Structures are given as C-alpha cells and as structure tokens.
Structure 1
C-alpha cells in the first residue's frame, strides 16, 4: 500500500470517527451551557472570582484589541474615503466610518480578540486544573465546578467583550477622523455631523448585543473544552486549538445571523 493510500484511508477513518462523535460532542456542549445558565442565579455568587477573571481576561485582551483596531479601522475608512473622494463626497466620510466601525469592525475585532486571547487563556487554565485532577477533587468535596468556576468566567468574558467593543468603536472612529481630516482633506465638522446620518443609538445597541453574545459563546466554548480535557498536557494544547477554531466558527455564524435579522 502506497503512502498516499495510507494517508487517504487515515483521513477517511478520522472523518468517520468525527461524524460518530459529533452529536455526542454537541450534546455535551449544550448540557454545559444549560447547566451554566441554570446556575447563574444560584447563590452565593462568586463575585471575587468574577472580578479576578474579568481583570485577567481584560489584561490579556486590551493590547491585542488596540493593535488590531487601529490598522483595521484606518484601512477600511481609507478605502471608503477613496471611493467617496472619487464622487466628490469626501465630507460624508463620517457616515461611512460610522457604518464600518460601529456595525461591523467593532464586533469582528471583538470576535478575534475574545476567541484568540481571552477564551484560550480560560481554556488553558481550566484544562490545567482538569489534568491535575483539581476538578475531580472539587466534586468529591461537594463543590460544583460549573457554579464555582464556569459561571464567573462566562460572565466575565461577556462583560469584557462589551467593554472591548466600546473601546474598538471609540478608537476606530477617532483614528478614522484623524486619517480622513489630516490626510484626505475631509472637513472636521462635516465628518462628525455625518456620523449620525446612517448610524444611531440602535446600531450601537445591536453592536453591543453582538459583542455580549460573542463573549458568552467564547466563554462557554472555552470552559466546556477546558473541563473536557483528556490526555495530559498534550490534551490541553489540543483543547486550546479547538477553542480558537470552534469559537471563530460560532462567532462568525452568530454575527451573520444577528446582522441579517437587524437589517430586516
């Protein structure tokens, strides 16, 4: 048997195994999510853990957010302004910047940072606890790990995503203003006035809703995969990689659905 045939057969075998385990994996994720929602209102609420996790997620997410938001927002606004300049409507650049930054760039950057930095850190933390059998020890002591560990992390991820989206929006609009006014000849007053032509408070609220859902989904995925780690340290690394892939898939799907529903 040639090497190519072996590779093809191994690929077919992996796909077959994945198709058999996929329903069980999805069901386990839904079970974790439902248990998390059920225990969110249970007392006592782990406020100290919530604050610590919110600070931890923010500390690993703020710098990547700024590094991604500035060039991405500026380049998108630059392309919009080039088009507007061609038709003599450069003073409407504020409207284009508002639509691009508030409706899409803010939530998308939040997707990338929350899933790529915050969720992976959560998964690595819980995965390390799992392979050290700390989770099993908590269950033996009668402590529910979902209530003690997962709920504070999911809520912290949701809250930080909201603030990150606001940060990206502020930075993006400021960078777009400076770029359009000082490098592309837009009028400062017209830029600011035009922002509200196509966007308003409703668009900002939808953007914040997207960010909250993104943070919630990323936190749930990270916690579920972190608690499901098997195979020692290698399993933790695999779970972190799966967190990034699964989070991106769910978050972009949620973004498409929410955008479609909000337009109609």
Structure 2
C-alpha cells in the first residue's frame, strides 16, 4: 500500500507545484499595467540577463551553424544538391534551433541567477517583510523578471539566427565551394514570414516560462543554502522540460495550420 501511494503522492506534489507556478505567473501578469512599480527593476534585469547570456549564445550558435552546414553539406554533396545546404541550415535555425537555444541559455545562465536571488531573499525573510509592508513580492519581483527574460530571449533568438547563419556561411561557402548566392537563395526559397513570427513568439514565451519557473522555485525553496542550491537545479530541469513540451505543441499546431512548402 505504501509503495503504491508513493508515486501518487509525488504526482500530486508535482501537479500542485505546477498549479502554484502558473498561479504566480497569472498574478504577475495581472499587474503588468502598473509599469511604474516595476520598470526600473525590469531595466536592471534586462541589462543583467543580456550580460550573462549574449556571449554564451554567440559561442553556441557559431559552431552549431558551422557543424550543421558541414554535415548537411557533406550529405547534400553526395546527392548532388550541395547548394541546398544554406536552406537547410537557416531554416533549421529559424524554425527550431533559435528559440530553443535562447530559452536554454536563459534558463541555464539567467534562470539559475534568478533562482539564487529569489532563494536568498526567501531565506532572509525579505519576501515576508515585503508582504508585511503591504508590497506584493510577485508584482514587484516576478513581473519585471518575466518580462525582462521574455524580451532578452526574443533578442537572443535573432542573435542565434545571425550567428548560426554566419557559421554556416563560413563552412559552406569558404570551405565547401558553394556560391554565396546559392547559399542565400536556398534559404529564401523555403522560409516564410510566418516562420519568423512563430520563432519570435516561441522565444518570447520560452523566456517568460524560464523566468517564471526560476522565480517560483526560488520563492518556495527550503530555508537553507542547501535548499537554494536544490532549487537552482530543479528550476533548470523543469524549465528545460516545459520548453521542450511547449515547443512540440506549438510546432505541431503551426505545421497543421501552415504545412511546410514542398
């Protein structure tokens, strides 16, 4: 009986935690209109997230685009369609790689810092002190972090596309002999304006989810430094799981509504 109830209790705790997290998210969005209360915190978080994520994104995107171009170009060369490598690289970057890479960097670098900050405030009872003074910590702390992470994630997605395209260009054009025109034309023939809009929307949503998970885990961690460390680890894992789950759902809906060009 105990063995049976153990997984049920874990599922119950997981669903309760998920419900609390989305409740915090809706509460944070509810007071978005009160910009004066959180604007400067939003600016500070944007600057901080941009500092800790820009360089890692570039270092990830450049070799990623080059590796994809190298592998796809080698395979396409065997099939006599090496000029299509540019299309495969850029389409892959725009549709899938850019929003996921941006979200993972936000969750790994920025989200861990947000969780640590919120956890430190929690164990020092700063959150409780804010409530005593009549200040809602969700409105004052969670709202600006959610919007900052979503904005920075959207900008990082554009940076991933540019960096990956440059890395793919170097390998495909300079090393494999494909003409620059063929590299660009291959991408332009497959991309649609809706692809870019969906990519930016996914990056925006994934950034907000990553910040929400980080804030929730930090605000509900155990009252000890060990609890903060565990919250950081949990926030990263949960963010990754939610990002991949939402990416699958959005991509499936998008391809059903707008089938790929053949």
- Say whether the fold is shared (TM-score over 0.5): yes
**Is it true that 1:121 corresponds to 2:117 in the alignment?**
no
Which structure 1 residue ranges, 4+ long, deviate > 4 Å from structure 2? 10-14
Partner deviation per Cα, 1:163-215 (whole Å, 9 max, x = no partner): 10000000011111111011111111111222211113221111111100100
**Is it true that 1:197 corresponds to 2:189 in the alignment?**
yes
Measured after TM superposition, the shift of residue 16 of structure 1 is: 4.9
**Is it true that 1:151 corresponds to 2:146 in the alignment?**
no
**Is it true that 1:235 corresponds to 2:227 in the alignment?**
yes
**Is it true that 1:48 corresponds to 2:15 in the alignment?**
no
Q: Quick one: distance in 1 between partners of 2:40 and 2:223?
A: 31
User: Structure 1 residues 158-167 or 202-211, which shifts more?
Assistant: 202-211
Gaps of 5+ in 2: 257-262
**1:77 corresponds to which residue?**
69
- For the Cα contact (< 8 Å) 1:73–1:105, is it kept in 2? no
Q: Quick one: distance in 1 between partners of 2:87 and 2:14?
A: 44
Measured after TM superposition, the shift of residue 147 of structure 1 is: 1.0
Q: 1:23 to 1:87 in 2, by over 3 A?
A: closer
**1:6 corresponds to which residue?**
none
Query: How high is the TM-score relative to the length of structure 1?
Result: 0.92
CA RMSD of aligned residues (A): 1.8
**1:177 corresponds to which residue?**
169
Count of aligned positions: 256
Q: Quick one: distance in 2 between partners of 1:139 and 1:223?
A: 16
Query: How high is the TM-score relative to the length of structure 2?
Result: 0.92
Measured after TM superposition, the shift of residue 143 of structure 1 is: 0.7
**2:205 corresponds to which residue?**
213
**2:102 corresponds to which residue?**
110
1:95 equivalent among 71, 87, 90: 87
Q: Quick one: distance in 1 between partners of 2:35 and 2:51?
A: 28
Measured after TM superposition, the shift of residue 11 of structure 1 is: 8.8
